[in-house]
Amino acid sequence: MTSGLHLQSIAKDFLGTRVLHDISLAVTPGEILAITGPSGAGKTTTCRLVSGLEMPDEGEIFLGDTQLTALPASKRHVAHMFESYALYPHLNVAQNIAFPLTSPARNRRYKRADVEAKVVELTRLTQIEHLRHRLPGALSGGQKQRVALCRALAQDAACYLLDEPISHLDAKLRNELRGHIRRRQTKVDAPTLWSTPDAMEALSIGDRVAVLIDGRIEQLGTPEEIYFSPATTSVARLVGDPAMNLLPGAVAAREGALFFEREGVSLALPQPIAKRIEPVMGHGLYLGVRPNAMDIRDGGGPGTLQMSVYAWEPFGKYAIVTAKLGEDLVRIKTHRTERFAANQPIAVTLDPTSLVVFDGTTRRSL
């Protein structure tokens, strides 16, 4: 007896092009799995496969012991919130939310009062209670999105698919709703898939996170694993605010230590990293440095990198300095408050403990 949602080696083609490759995922009831990736990576397609709007070309999908792929969409009992909202234009907000509960296709009947209570509860949660009698045509994008979200959450579904559920809301409401939805969804006895292009949102909302790039799962793990040990350079480029800097270079051994070398740069690598690098000695590699693992120091000195300021963006509590290292742009998150002028030379120190190294050819983490 298994429980939860299982995707087993799913592949999907569109017009002869493979858009999803070998997708295997398992989500347990009460768990939120966040899927993140750039637009076009296959997040929406994955959701549509689970809800039955698309059929996979290879692989199977199970929900508990039920083989979903053998069932039509209407029999899957999946609540799907569409990125495009898909509201019924002729029904008002309350009717839209109640629709899946009152539809004759359902095998359970709800009392009218229960339906009403659900609608009130959810519209209050999403702060659209005052709009309950409006038609979708009279709503803004953010309001429509909240109606669609209510409609999905109102159902007692066997699985919830939330496709970019809060992308059009303002930051404050977005944060509140993340909290509320996490509370609800970790209590229901059904798995939740949450798709978002915002990697930081995925890390915040998901118990685990799947990073989907070009139709492949690049990494599947806890938020901490994704943030601290990105599996590939593509994942590293996606995660963080701003994302990790990737510096191409090579490794050289000198005086018993290993050095990261590139034009004008020679950086001693700490022992634990050096160990892992040994197998790829002589290859090219990428050094991953998080923007907050660097700081700007007065004057030069050994172990510092010489860069020139490209742009300076002060944010109040910190500033982001974009600097040129050779031909590459590097972003540094600093707490220094003074102004940095374009082309000003700066010396930058690295925190060696938080470095990540990637193989130059496979682009995988070492």
Partner 1 sequence: MTATDTPPAGAASASPPRLAHHRESRWYPYALIAPTMITLTVVALIPFLYMGYISLHEARYGQLRDFIWFQNFATLLADPRFWNSMWVALVFVCIAVPIEFMLGLIGALLLSQKIRFRNVLIPLLFIPSMMAPIIVGLVWKTMLAGSWGFVSYNILENFGILKETSIFASPDLALYGIIFVDIWEWTPFMMLTFFAGMQALPVNPYWAAAVDGANPVQIFFKLTLPMLAPLLFVIGLLRLIDAFKVYDTIFILTNGGPGTATESPSVLGYKYTFDFWNIGQSSALAVVIWLIFFIFCNIFYQVAKKRLNVF
Partner 2 sequence: MSIFLNGVSKTYGGEVVAVRELDLKCPTGQMLALLGPSGCGKSTTLKMIAGIEEVTTGEIWFGDRPVSALPPGARNIAMVFEDYALYAHLSVFENIAFPLRLRHLPKRVIEERVEGMLDLLRLGDIRDEKVRKLSGGAQQRVAIGRALVRDPDVILFDEPLSHLDADQKVQLRTEIKRLQQTQGLTSILVTHDQTEAIAMSDAIAVMDHGVLQQVGSPQELYETPANTFVATFIGEPPMNLLPARLARKSDVLFLEGTGFTLPLSAQKGAALTATNTTDVIMGLRPEHIALAPETPLEHQAVMRGEVFFREHRGDTDVLLVDIAADGTTARVSADIAGPTALREGASVALAFDDRRLSLFDAETGTNLLTARAA
Q: How far apart are CA 273 and CA 334, in angstroms?
A: 25
The least CB distance from residue 182 to partner 2, in Å, is 6
Residue range at the interface with partner 1 (CB under 8 A); choices 1-9, 127-135, 168-176, 229-237 = 1-9
151 touches partner 1 by CB under 8 A = yes
The binding site for partner 2 (CB under 8 A) comprises 38-39, 171-172, 175-176, 178-179, 182-183, 186, 197-198, 200, 203-204, 223-224, 227, 237-243, 290, 292, 310-317, 320, 322, 329, 333, 337, 341-343
When the beta carbons of 85 and 340 are compared against partner 2, the nearer one is 340
Asked whether the beta carbons of 204 and 178 are under 8 A apart, the reply is yes
Given 36, 155, 232, 234, the residue binding partner 1 (CB under 8 A) = 155
The least CB distance from residue 65 to partner 1, in Å, is 5
When the beta carbons of 7 and 211 are compared against partner 2, the nearer one is 211
Q: Locate 273 and state its tokens.
A: 């990293």
Residues contacting partner 1: total by CB under 8 A: 45
**Pairing label, strands 192-196, 32-36:** parallel
Residue range at the interface with partner 1 (CB under 8 A); choices 58-66, 255-263, 296-304, 321-329 = 58-66
DSSP 8-state symbol, 270: P
User: Where are the alpha helices (H) located in the chain, listed in sequence order?
Assistant: 43-51, 93-102, 112-125, 141-153, 171-187, 199-205, 223-228, 233-238, 271-277
Site map (CB under 8 A) of partner 1, residues 186-225, x = contact: ---xxx----------------------------------
The least CB distance from residue 228 to partner 2, in Å, is 8
Q: How far apart are CA 359 and CA 34, in angstroms?
A: 27
Which residues touch 83 (CB under 8 Å, ≥6 apart)? 44, 163, 164, 167, 195
Q: Which does 297 bind (CB under 5 to 8 A by kind): partner 1, partner 2, none?
A: none
Q: Which does 311 bind (CB under 5 to 8 A by kind): partner 1, partner 2, none?
A: partner 2
When the beta carbons of 116 and 224 are compared against partner 2, the nearer one is 224
**Pairing label, strands 192-196, 159-163:** parallel
Q: Which does 190 bind (CB under 5 to 8 A by kind): partner 2, partner 1, none?
A: partner 1
Q: How far apart are CA 201 and CA 348, in angstroms?
A: 30
CA nearest neighbour of 249 among 219, 284, 223: 284
When the beta carbons of 161 and 235 are compared against partner 1, the nearer one is 161
Q: In degrees rounded to 5, what are phi and psi of residue 116?
A: -60, -45
CA nearest neighbour of 269 among 284, 247, 287, 294: 287
171 touches partner 1 by CB under 8 A = no
144 touches partner 1 by CB under 8 A = no
Hey, which residues between 6 and 35 contact partner 1 (CB under 8 A)?
A: 29
Q: How far apart are CA 366 and CA 359, in angstroms?
A: 7
Residue range at the interface with partner 1 (CB under 8 A); choices 67-75, 129-137, 232-240, 339-347 = 67-75
Q: Is 136 helix (H, G, I), strand (E, B) or coil?
A: helix
Hey, which residues between 103 and 142 contact partner 1 (CB under 8 A)?
A: 103, 105-108, 110
- CA quadruple 78, 84, 88, 94: dihedral, nearest 10: 70
Binding residues for partner 1, rule: CB under 8 A, are: 1-4, 29, 51-53, 55, 63-66, 71-80, 82, 86, 99-101, 103, 105-108, 110, 151-152, 154-159, 189-191
